[in-house]
Structure 1
Amino acid sequence: MQLKALPPQVLIPLIVACALFMEQVDSTVIATSLPAIAGDLGEDPVALKLALTSYLLSLAVFIPASGWAADRYGARTVFRSAIVIFTIGSILCGLSSSLADFVLYRIIQGMGGAMMVPVGRLVILRSVPKSELVSSLAWLTIPALLGPVFGPPLGGFITTYFDWRLIFFINVPIGVLGVFLATRFIENVREEDVPPLDLKGLILSGAGLAGLVFGFAVLGQEVLVPQWAALAIGASGAFFLFLYVRHARVTPHAVLDLKLLRHGTFRAGVVGGSLFRVGIGAMPFLLPLMLQLSFGLSPFASGLLTFTASAGAMAMKFTAARLLRRIGYKRVLLANVFLCSGFIAINAAFTPLTPHWLIASLLLVGGFLRSLQFTALNALSYADVEPAEMSRATSFASVAQQVSLSFGVAVAGLVLETMRASRGEVGVTQGDFSAAFLVVAAVSALSIFFFIPLPKDAGSSLTARKPDLDDPRSEVPPD
């Protein structure tokens, strides 16, 4: 079948999925290869959390401008440019020779990803009717989820039998394909009347988020930054965020529109979802490190275990919409948050003697439940957003997602640092990992307090059928 013969609600999501696939492969490959990268660069494996947080933080800093850039210059133009920047950053990562180089090039990747994924998602949200949104995003999700499925074993295989640097060059052919397909099939949608970019807000929010997350991430890393300096960086970030809140209240077109929080569903999805993602963000950092440093597995063996979580997530995408219609959106969120947090916490009980089939089975079920929660959370975020607010909402929600994921890595790293510092030892132990899993699981569970106040019919506007107050339904975009 020729691509032109595919309907837009299928073709456009598949094209955007090329970008998502590239990003997901990259992030999951890196997580599996962190110990090997640390060894080659002569760094502490825990310090390599900066490779994850720097990328996620770069996303958070530059995402706020993505909606404005797409409105001003056209979605296709921004989408293609972002793929090119991301691909160049990938090549540079493969050529890096120190931790400083690696972190810098990950920031460049983040600059591309900041525009690539949100703008691609915005193209779909503007091009597809709400009644077709779930089916369209299903086409988007399936290829995008292949990245996390193939990433860990692929990265582990390359790292174990070849060189970790080769994993970054995988993005090159995918990036070329994405640019070609976007040029050929995506319309350069732009807004006629675009307000000026809130440059002051972009600087304040960027400095605030960067300071807060980076300061938190380097706590305990005395070799990199003294403790007092880490605390000062974090405090300055909090101060800049305070200034941004004051600025946003009196600015008509703030780069992060805090007025969107007036929507109860958006507020619950973004704030509650951010707490939930802290635990999820820590998993790709903690699990490969534990399997390789504590259990003694090779990167390939580690990847063959961790990919099962993504396989479970992929399986859920085929049934999530039906479950949300049948069980109810609010009920799913309330019950599933405890199940998901429990499956994060259960990693604390793993030992080198735990059968691998049992670990893989639990990760599979945990990924299945996590995917259901993500689908519901995204539905919540966009359920009541007006069309004119969509670009600002996607930027806001994307920033919140990336910041919470980076905080997950930072929290997990801080627990590991604190635990080994309390013993006065250099290496990390199984008990350190167990403590970290329990802490991030507890943080994820706290998100329930933002779901309890939701009305029964929350998110019902995303279904084509008339909502029934006794049978709330929701359908929505993937994470």
Structure 2
Amino acid sequence: MNSAVSPASSRQLLWLVAVGFFMQTLDATIVNTALPAMARSLGESPLEMQAVIVSYALTMAVVIPASGWVADRFGTQRVFFTAIVLFTLGSAACAASPSLHWLVVARVLQGLGGALLLPVGRLAVLRAYPREQFLEAMSFVAMPGLIGPLVGPTLGGWLVEAASWHWIFLINLPVGVLGALATLRYMPGGRSERPPAFDAGGYTMLVVAMLALSLALDGLGGLGMKHLLVLLLLLLGLAALTAYWLHAARVPAPLFTPRLFSLQSFRVGLLGNLFARIGSGAMPYLIPLLMQLAMGYSPAQAGMLMLPVALAGLGMKRLVTSIIGRWGYRRVLIGNTLALGAMIAGFALMTPDQPLWLRVLQMAMFGAVNSMQFTAMNTVTLKDLDPAHASGGNSMLSMVQMLGMGMGVSVAATLLAAFGPWLGVSASAAGPDALPAFRAALGAIGAVTMLSAGIFWQLQPEPPRPDDDRRAGESRAEH
């Protein structure tokens, strides 16, 4: 294994991985505030732009399960360099896109690179640092990942007003060039002499299942698919998922072993992650649209309103361990999921004449509850995994997180598209006329989120284990 790294290069390696993580998380959020401006420029409806976000999240969900094997087979330096190049080229293609369809294709290219940045970078850090220093190193790498969502919506709104939406992608180009050069200098090779066998058949089934189910869900909202095609995609997705499960139970080394689900905390945490994240994933898409289309806010103002969400989320990270230590995972997740659903539904009560302080308080409360939800769900999912299954379990969690984010956006777009005609709201409605569709969608998403508390009800009451702090630190990198 060629993974040696000199002490002089170790700090540069951490900065390199941290910057890559920052780029990936920034682009997952910076687009949200710019969607209305992008829609006007491309001649599309703002309520039909969800594919720009879904394509990025879905691509990452598809690629993440193969990232570990790809890094072992071709080396961390080569794969990380390729990831930065793909991400940078995808950013340039996004800025140059003349239509929504081209923009979606460019976002897929960008997502191919983004999906490899964190897993491969984390693998390089794992190999370069001894175990007793790994948590400290990963905490350093994770911090920019928390800053990305903090500045993304605000920066996106400011760039739209100060220049144009194209600059939310163009700012990646100089960072990408410098990152590629730094990778060649500071990233160790890290290629395995005997890479493990890759479960290509299982991976194909899993990819087909994710793509078919996600496209069917998105087709209900805005892709204009005929009902028969949506039904066929749903059936294909369910059939592929069933085929993968049977395949994984038969082969000796599947991509994700079914034995992972023998752990109650893992299967409950994973399913809870998937369904609770529908609400959490929908909100970064819905809130900027609500503020700009129904409340009359500018892109910069809508972006600034997302700051309390991120700041409160960062502040909550310090309290998570003590809260879980006192109340336990089961009670915290049941109560917090109910509170999260109620907070989401509470956004339906917004009106344009409410005072600013009330809106800021509402955003901050949502950010704190959402942050608690992320950390508690991630930690309970991973806390009981033994070392032999830790890598596969963590990869599956990462995949489900991105899949849940994409599903959240698709569900939000579907509900807006469905409630609009039912409530007599046209696709071009703006201002208070557009509020009824947003209110109905927020109420429905809040109800779905609250129902997912029933999943966490299945957890066994137990005191937290001493190593949960380490699991929480590792899971924060995933957010």
* TM-score normalised by the chain length of structure 2: 0.89
Check 1:378–1:220 CA distance in 2 against 1; reply closer, same or farther (3 A cut): closer
Given that 2:57 and 2:111 are in contact with CA atoms closer than 8 Å, whether structure 1 keeps it comes out as yes
Paired residue secondary structure (2:23): helix
Q: Retained in 1: the 8 A contact 2:347–2:442?
A: yes
TM-aligned CA distance change 1:246 to 1:228, over 3 Å: same
User: Is contact 2:60-2:114 (8 Å) kept?
Assistant: yes
1:441 to partner: Cα distance: 1.9
Partner residue, 1:477: 475
Deviations 1:102-125 (A, max 9, x none): 010111111112222233344456
CA offsets 1:416-463 (integer angstroms, 9 cap, x no match): 111112245333521111111122222222332332333444651525
Residue 240 (structure 2) aligns with: 240
User: Which ranges of structure 1 fall in alignment gaps of 5 or more residues?
Assistant: 466-472
> CA offsets, 1:339-372, max 9 Å, x none?
2222222111111112222212211221122212
Distance in 2 separating the partners of 1:129 and 1:455:
34
- Call closer, same or farther: CA 1:136–1:334 in 2, change over 3 Å: farther
**Closer, same or farther in 2 for the Cα pair 1:325/1:108, shift >3 Å?**
same
Most deviating of 132-141 and 282-291 = 132-141
Cα distance change on mapping 1:19 and 1:427 into 2, 3 Å: same
Query: Where does 1:18-167 land on structure 2 (aligned, <5 Å)?
Result: 18-124=19-125, 135-167=136-168
Give per-residue Cα distances to partners, 1:148-204, cap 9 Å, x unaligned: 111112111111231101110112233334444544444444555433222222222
- SS of the residue corresponding to residue 230 of structure 1 reads helix
The answer for the alignment partner of 1:251 in structure 2 is 251
Once the two structures are overlaid, the 10-residue window that deviates more, 93-102 or 393-402, is 393-402
The whole-number CA distance in structure 2 between the counterparts of 1:36 and 1:405 is 22
CA contact (8 A) 2:216 2:231 kept: yes
Q: Which amino acid aligns with 1:197?
A: F
SS in 1 for 2:403: helix
Q: Conserved in 1, the CA contact under 8 Å of 2:79 and 2:120?
A: yes
How far, CA to CA, are the matches of 1:52 and 1:191 in structure 2?
Answer: 34
CA distance in 2, matches of 1:19, 1:159: 23
Q: Deviations over 1:370-428 (max 9, x none)?
A: 21221222222222223333332222111111111111111111111111122453335
Report if the CA contact (8 A) 1:281-1:405 is conserved.
yes
- The CA deviation at 1:44 is 1.4
Whole-Å separation in 1 of the counterparts to 2:469 and 2:280 = 31
Is the CA contact 1:60–1:399 (under 8 Å) kept in the aligned structure 2? yes
2:375 and 2:475 in contact (8 A); partners too: yes
Is the contact between residue 266 and residue 381 of structure 2 (CA under 8 Å) also seen in structure 1? yes
One-letter amino acid of the structure 1 residue matched with residue 145 of structure 2: A
Paired with 2:375 and 2:138, the residues of 1 have a C-alpha distance of: 10
Unaligned runs of 5+ in 2: none
CA distance in 1, matches of 2:421, 2:300: 30
Are residues 359 and 402 of structure 1, via their aligned partners in 2, closer, same or farther at CA, if it must alter by over 3 Å? Answer: same
RMSD: 2.8
Alpha-carbon shift at residue 98 of structure 1 (Å): 0.5
Q: Does 1:440 align with 2:464?
A: no
Work out the CA distance in 2 between the residues paired with 1:187 and 1:256.
27
Deviation per residue, 1:191-234 (Å, 9 max, x gap): 55433222222222111111110111021437x32233233223
Contact 1:195-1:253 within 8 A present in 2 as well: no
Residue 175 of structure 2 corresponds to 174
After TM superposition, the structure 1 stretch with the greater mean CA deviation from structure 2, 301-310 or 382-391, is 382-391
Shift of 1:307: 2.6
Instruction: Indicate whether 1:382 and 2:391 are aligned.
Output: no
Q: Is the Cα–Cα contact under 8 Å of residues 141 and 317 in structure 1 kept in the other structure?
A: no
Contact 1:32 1:302 in 2 (8 A): yes
Q: Counterparts of 1:459 and 1:179 in 2: how far apart (Å)?
A: 42
Tell me how far apart the structure 1 counterparts of residues 125 and 381 of structure 2 sit (CA, whole Å). Answer: 16
Kindly indicate whether the alpha-carbon contact (under 8 Å) linking 1:324 and 1:475 is maintained by their aligned counterparts in 2.
Answer: no
- Separation (CA, whole Å) in 2 of partners of 1:187 and 1:96: 35
Partner AA of 1:62 in structure 2? V
Which deviates further from its counterpart, 243-252 or 113-122? 113-122
Whole-Å Cα distance in 1 between the matches of residues 217 and 6 of structure 2? 49
One-letter amino acid of the counterpart of residue 363, structure 1: M
Instruction: Give 1:276's aligned residue.
Output: 276
The aligned amino acid for 2:58 is L
Question: Structure 2: how far apart are the matches of 1:139 and 1:237?
Answer: 39
| Counterpart code for 1:54 | S
SS at match of 2:475: coil
Tell me which residue corresponds to 1:469: none
Give the Cα separation in 2 of the matches to 1:240 and 1:132: 41
Paired residues for 1:80-479 under 5 Å: 80-124=81-125, 135-221=136-222, 224-423=224-423, 425-427=426-428, 429-457=434-462, 460=465, 462-463=467-468, 476-478=474-476, 479=479
Count of residues in correspondence between the two structures: 468
Please tell me whether the aligned partners of residues 376 and 476 of structure 1 are also in contact (alpha carbons under 8 angstroms): no
In structure 2, distance between residues paired with 1:263 and 1:127:
31
CA distance in structure 2 between the aligned counterparts of 1:187 and 1:216, rounded to whole angstroms: 41
Does the Cα contact within 8 Å between 2:45 and 2:428 map onto a contact in 1? no
8 Å CA contact 1:205, 1:240 repeated in 2: yes
* 1:253-275 Cα distance to aligned partner (Å, 9 max, x none): 22233332222222122111111
Query: Are the equivalent residues in 2 in contact too, given 1:309–1:363 (CA < 8 A)?
Result: yes
Are the structure 2 counterparts of residues 220 and 343 from structure 1 closer, same or farther at C-alpha, using a change threshold of 3 Å?
closer
Give the corresponding residue for 1:470: none
Provide closer, same or farther for how the CA distance between residues 265 and 175 of structure 1 changes in structure 2, counting only shifts above 3 A. Answer: farther
Does structure 2 retain, via aligned residues, the 8 Å contact 1:308–1:363? yes
